[in-house]
Structure 1
């Protein structure tokens, strides 16, 4: 009888330990909501981190939603609809200029050049930027990084975007490709994979890269509200570490392997196109190799914004950029 009682007690204690350990494990899982400004192959390391389980390895349960447009993405972050936003760093400057008491802080960089390409309606054997003079150029949304970089590059080549060509900026981002395919414009500024798809289908021809022309800028970064970062330092560090693992993986693996991993996020694109785009972005150094946002890049960003007349005021690097976690995980 005593043996049975002892056995029962042992079993009961064992069950309590299992339940306790399960509860502890559950507590260690941290939910993180990401709002991305668009779904893009440009963001390959983010999808790799999800698919390869790098976030899970850090104890993070990540959910991802696409909120098209920088304004919508930032609204989601500020209104607590998301914990972390993946969006252009210029948006944090716009928020700071409005006098926010809880500024949005850039803590991990994902892309380090512009991700758009100049696509011509006609095939051009030897392209020269002066060919744009007198043409109709279908650009991006006014005030957004693609358009600001576009104008910066045109001016770099001695072209006044408001005098030397007909600049169209009133087409919604989602309809730019459709407008060009329907016959609007001689040239268009497009992201991938649309640019490659157009080239494949004979609707346009890639003649130049705005990314290689503009130099390094913190084009897309992960950011969070200052209050969230103070309360969740461990979560931010784990998130950044998982991202670094993914960045390292993408750099080491072939474009084909990366394409296979991220294909579930791009069901409308064939594997060959995804591979082509990954290789193009890697070869021109658009995908950041580490999450550290350098001060020189930050200043270049503000120079581009200033040139476009969209910079509210210059903002100190240390005010809106925190490299503590990026540097720690990159050692």
Structure 2
């Protein structure tokens, strides 16, 4: 009888252990990033430093090229969280989505592209672009809209004052310029730094500095997921904030060393220089709060590009509750 009791007790304890293990299992969140970019350095730091794990999350990262494809994955529940430009949430809203896509944590706060000239120009002015062949970004995407916004700010009509090329796929733009297409090109890092090192081109201006502070790349999810998984979203946002603070308080070399595994084809010195360039111009948001002034600036840029049907409601498409709580340490 004692043996039966002991066996029963042992079995009961085993079941309890299993149940306890299940209850403490990390929450899985799948992120779909629109591209692999060192522009997203705080995210990779959060992954590599274990900030998501410390928060009790099992984060799976995948790269899904194209904002439309990222949104499709999010809306079909192929991923839980999208990392993409805020303009995509506005496009979804304009299509009358029953389950709105909500921005809850900002990662980058400026455009990430630079104007690269084929020839070195020590005293560059935007007037020099007139009559030139300009290799721009995809129409309707945030890089192209920010680029056109800056050109118009300098009294340049992108459609009539220069020869604008914008039918080349994002992944092929740098290669096209390197092979001889265009006199100027709009590039992200690390391609801009690599071109300078290899003598292919020279950075003459920053679209990030010129276009102002905007919610350029943001974590977003469906309203229904936000409602049902609020605790997980808070943990996620807390981890993102730790990544942002880590990048802000460490040297470009330290950040480059941590994120190097995500960019194995990039030379360490180029990676470091690119991180420094983004840090110097304040591209990495130091907290995840997306404020209304940034939201309005984004819509001004979209409006000037002819891509905004109507102004989008900040209160409907942005939720700062989680970001503010993360910053306050709650």
TM-score (norm 2): 0.96
Q: Distance in 2 between matches of 1:267 and 1:58?
A: 28
Per-residue Cα deviation, 1:309-328 (whole angstroms, up to 9, x for no partner)? 11121111111000010011
Per-residue Cα deviation, 1:1-44 (whole angstroms, up to 9, x for no partner)? 96x78876765555444334323222xx1110100000000000
Give the counterpart of 2:285 among 284, 288, 294: 288
Shift of 1:164: 1.0
Q: Distance in 2 between matches of 1:99 and 1:307?
A: 22
Aligned to 2:124, the other structure's residue is in SS state coil
Q: Distance in 2 between matches of 1:239 and 1:259?
A: 23
Aligned to 2:262: 265
Shift of 1:52: 0.5
Instruction: Out of 264-273 and 289-298, give the one that drifted further.
Output: 264-273
Per-residue Cα deviation, 1:251-270 (whole angstroms, up to 9, x for no partner)? 11111111111111111112
Q: Does residue 24 of structure 1 match 2:23?
A: yes
Give the counterpart of 2:78 among 72, 81, 84: 81
Is the 8 Å Cα contact of residues 94 and 312 (structure 1) preserved in structure 2?
Answer: no
Q: Distance in 2 between matches of 1:25 and 1:67?
A: 30
Is the 8 Å Cα contact of residues 292 and 326 (structure 1) preserved in structure 2?
Answer: yes
Aligned to 2:216: 219
Aligned to 1:65, the other structure's residue is in SS state strand
Aligned length: 328
Q: Does residue 141 of structure 1 match 2:138?
A: yes
Q: Does residue 203 of structure 1 match 2:225?
A: no
Matches within 5 A, 1:66-215: 66-215=63-212
Q: Distance in 1 between matches of 2:163 and 2:35?
A: 27
Per-residue Cα deviation, 1:167-208 (whole angstroms, up to 9, x for no partner)? 111111111111111111000000111111111111111111
Shift of 1:243: 0.4
Aligned to 2:54: 57
Q: Distance in 2 between matches of 1:8 and 1:175?
A: 66
Aligned to 1:232: 229
Provide the aligned C-alpha RMSD in A.
1.5
Aligned to 1:272, the other structure's residue is in SS state helix
Instruction: Out of 4-13 and 218-227, give the one that drifted further.
Output: 4-13
Give the counterpart of 1:43 among 34, 40, 43: 40
Aligned to 1:110, the other structure's residue is in SS state strand
Q: Distance in 1 between matches of 2:60 and 2:23?
A: 21
